[in-house]
Amino acid sequence: MRKITFLAIFAVVGLSTWICLADGKETKGEETEEEEMAEEEMIPQISPEDSAMFIEVFETYLDYDMDFANSSMKYAESMRKGAGKDYHKSRKHIDSMFHDCIELVKLGDYDKMLELLETERLNIYRHPGNSIDNEIGLVTVFAKMYNQIYPESTDSFYMKMLPKYQFMKTHIEVKRALTDEEEFHPIYEEILKIIDNAHEVLGNDSTYDKWY
């Protein structure tokens, strides 16, 4: 059983508070009619290897420490009455969503899978299974899916992916600050490079410089 620390719980609940403030305010870039049609008519060419990877990612989100989840719920309740109940309800909802995503992958319904992940993305960030390593897997799923619609590293691709990279950057920075780790997560430098490249492609437009 992993050791439960106050700082780890604070990191989860603290990030959740930021997410709550952003909920319902997700900024989306302007899309052309052709891009919208392309997304609607998407026929993903997902390999068996990628399908297996998707399922593995979703299963890792379901394999979390219940002691940690319960401690986070109690801490949330101590910060605001009713917050613990909301945390528990959201956790169960996302558990169910990941089970649905696993079934959708098995059925080959990747469009619906992607729709579910996008709809619940901010709630996933609140989930106790959203460790940095698990989030890397989730971002990989998003990237592989959107690369089926848009060429990688184009403005359309980054309009979809930059918010995910921005949140991962924030997640890594908050965890390091709260746990006094000497080094950033190994993927941190790569994430910075991706974000810099995204800004270059998007013309440094601050419209896209958000994770929500």
Task: Say what the alpha-carbon torsion angle 122, 61, 116, 41 is, to the nearest 10 degrees.
Answer: 120
State the pLDDT at residue 44. 59
Q: Cα(201)–Cα(43) distance, rounded to whole angstroms?
A: 26
Mean pLDDT of 82-99: 92
Q: Cα(68)–Cα(173) distance, rounded to whole angstroms?
A: 21
Where is 100: in which H helix or E strand? helix 83-107
Mean pLDDT of 1-28: 45
State the pLDDT at residue 33. 57
Instruction: Between 37 and 164, name the one with better pLDDT.
Output: 164
Q: Cα(29)–Cα(114) distance, rounded to whole angstroms?
A: 18
Q: How confident is the model at residue 186 (pLDDT cuts 50, 70, 90)?
A: very high
Instruction: Between 32 and 107, name the one with better pLDDT.
Output: 107
CA distances from 199 to 32, 56, 151, 163, 204 (A): 19, 31, 16, 12, 4
Per-domain boundaries in the chain: 6-21+44-208
Q: How confident is the model at residue 36 (pLDDT cuts 50, 70, 90)?
A: low
Per-residue tokens: 97: 């969503």
Q: How confident is the model at residue 180 (pLDDT cuts 50, 70, 90)?
A: confident
Following DSSP, what letter does each residue of 130-193 receive, concatenated? Answer: --HHHHHHHHHHHHHHHTTTS-TTSHHHHHHHHHHHHHHHHHHHHHHHHHT-SS--TTHHHHHH
State the pLDDT at residue 85. 86
Mean pLDDT of 1-13: 42
Mean pLDDT of 1-19: 44
Per-residue tokens: 57: 């990612």
Mean pLDDT of 110-115: 96
pTM of the model as a whole: 0.79
Q: Cα(201)–Cα(208) distance, rounded to whole angstroms?
A: 11
Residue 14 has pLDDT above 50, yes or no: no
Residue 134 has pLDDT above 50, yes or no: yes
Instruction: Between 18 and 196, name the one with better pLDDT.
Output: 196
Following DSSP, what letter does each residue of 37-66 receive, concatenated? Answer: HHHHT------HHHHHHHHHHHHHHH---H
Mean pLDDT of 19-42: 50
* 58-72 confidence digits (pLDDT tens): 999 999 989 888 888
Residue indicated by tokens 């990279």 = 165
Q: Residue 139 in contact with residue 130, Cβ under 8 Å?
A: no
State the pLDDT at residue 42. 54
